[in-house]
Structure 1
Amino acid sequence: MTHPHEPDPDRHAAGPGAATGHFIALEGGDGAGKSTQAALLGDWLESLGRTVLLTHEPGGTPVGQAIRQVLLHGEHVTPRAEALLFAADRGHHVETVIRPALARGVVVVTDRYMDSSIAYQGAGRDLAAEDVEHLSRWATQELLPDLTVVLDVSPDVGRARRGQVHDRLESEPDDFHAAVRRRFLDLAAREPARYLAVDAGRPADDIQLDIRRRVTALLDQGALS
């Protein structure tokens, strides 16, 4: 293993190069367990004979690593600049990592994607959600996941899981993280055919079973075949 609209079967073909692989995003607040669930899902998909790419945002490329340093560990960044930097990372990530993998028939599992911008900058930073979404759609040439899993966790649980180490966004107060949480759940409720919202306060294995059941349903339908 290498380390949002009604479902549209042609969406991977948006932009240059039709994609034949499949795309799953894991979203949710800080401390929700996205990286743990991505690793478990990747192992399971590989056991089914799939070729899997695990990736993440921000920082899934060398360029993205530099952007990540500014976004998460630098000094104050204004809300609009923050949204632009996340979109820049995402656009480069899609063009250089995700689309090429999809074109090879790989199942791409990403820890965060454009819904994180819609939630964190659109709700947490109080920017217009439609502007933030449009920016990411432009940057990615309209590439949307086949399935987005929202791992729902309360701000206090997320904070407890993170312990004493917090990056610039994790350090925001609970009302910021509560607004982010509400936006993620609103996005999932808007498109239930393309989203799965799960209670991420439960044991990791129980959460993974919920995710696998949904992915199995997609496999049975041929959506990820």
Structure 2
Amino acid sequence: MTENLAAATHRVDTAPGLFVCFEGGDGAGKSTQARLLTEVLEQRGREVVVTRQPGGTPLGTQIRELVLHGDHVAARAEALLFAADKAHHVDQLIRPALAAGQVVITDRYVDSSITYQGAGRELGRDEITALQHWAVGGLLPDLTIVLDVSPEVGRERRGDEHDRLESEADAFHAAVRRGYLELAAADPGRYLVLDATQTVERLHAAVVDGVDRVLAGRP
């Protein structure tokens, strides 16, 4: 199984649709930018599916409640639950949408687990990467947009409402942030890192520009 996990890490699916993922720390503004990008693409005549992880399916909604709002979950169990969410989500929603030529925009994907469980929980980036990529069958986004924000800014934006991960100390969120930046630096062709302290309008313009560059590079 170890060999299969390693192989999945390096396999990238190609599909006729477009797969865009928003990543970043809590409070970075992912849902806002996902909504604005959806509006632009729909105005252009594209059919867009907007989803999130954990969640996006009835099973995913139950997993989300368990891992974010339930009682204590052991770190390894947490990683496995997130992997289960992704495996089901990809099989039931993401792959079918891409095969139908639709645009899929997701709020979080495999990189969230690599950074939150691999870096934040210190379970090991390589191990969590292999697990997550195996769970999704090697399907990676065409573009991953990282909205970069400091733990301090993220906490200020979130206010007083916190789920299990949001309530972790700043050191945890700093490790998560470093994890995202390291992933992006290792594969700059697939990542777009943006300063999330910019105005919503500036971020939106940069997001649309990044997506257009990906589309322009296609046959």
Q: TM over 0.5, yes or no? A: yes
Matched-pair contact (CA < 8 Å) for 2:146–2:194: yes
Aligned to 1:199: 195
> Distance between the aligned counterparts of 1:181 and 1:71, measured in 2?
20
Cα offset for 1:32? 0.4
| Amino acid corresponding to residue 85 of structure 2 in structure 1 | D
Which segments of 5 or more consecutive residues in structure 1 lack a partner in the other structure? 1-9, 14-18
Which segments of 5 or more consecutive residues in structure 2 lack a partner in the other structure? 1-10
1:26 correspondence with 2:26:
no
Aligned to 1:130: 126
C-alpha deviations, 1:169-205, integer Å up to 9, x for none? Answer: 0000000000000000110111110000000011111
Secondary structure class of the residue paired with 2:174: helix
C-alpha deviations, 1:196-218, integer Å up to 9, x for none? Answer: 00000111111111111111112
> Distance between the aligned counterparts of 1:57 and 1:121, measured in 2?
14
| Amino acid corresponding to residue 128 of structure 1 in structure 2 | G
Aligned to 1:222: 218
Secondary structure class of the residue paired with 1:23: strand
Aligned to 1:145: 141
Cα offset for 1:50? 1.0
> Distance between the aligned counterparts of 2:56 and 2:141, measured in 1?
16
C-alpha deviations, 1:74-96, integer Å up to 9, x for none? Answer: 11111100000000000000000
> Distance between the aligned counterparts of 2:137 and 2:216, measured in 1?
29
Aligned to 2:164: 168
Secondary structure class of the residue paired with 1:201: coil
| TM-score normalised by length of structure 1 | 0.91
Cα offset for 1:138? 1.0
| Amino acid corresponding to residue 83 of structure 1 in structure 2 | A
| TM-score normalised by length of structure 2 | 0.93
Matched-pair contact (CA < 8 Å) for 1:20–1:103: yes
Aligned to 2:208: 212
Decide which of 44, 47, 56 is 2:43's aligned counterpart: 47
Secondary structure class of the residue paired with 2:204: helix
Aligned to 2:3: none
Cα offset for 1:51? 0.9
Secondary structure class of the residue paired with 2:89: helix
| Amino acid corresponding to residue 12 of structure 2 in structure 1 | R
| Amino acid corresponding to residue 170 of structure 1 in structure 2 | E
Q: Identity over aligned residues, as a percent?
A: 58
Matched-pair contact (CA < 8 Å) for 2:142–2:214: no
Cα offset for 1:12? 2.6
Aligned to 1:7: none
Matched-pair contact (CA < 8 Å) for 1:12–1:20: no
> Distance between the aligned counterparts of 1:65 and 1:221, measured in 2?
35
> Distance between the aligned counterparts of 1:176 and 1:168, measured in 2?
12
Give 1:39-188 correspondences, 5 Å limit. Answer: 39-188=35-184
Secondary structure class of the residue paired with 1:11: coil
| Amino acid corresponding to residue 133 of structure 1 in structure 2 | T
Secondary structure class of the residue paired with 2:13: helix
> Distance between the aligned counterparts of 2:28 and 2:192, measured in 1?
14
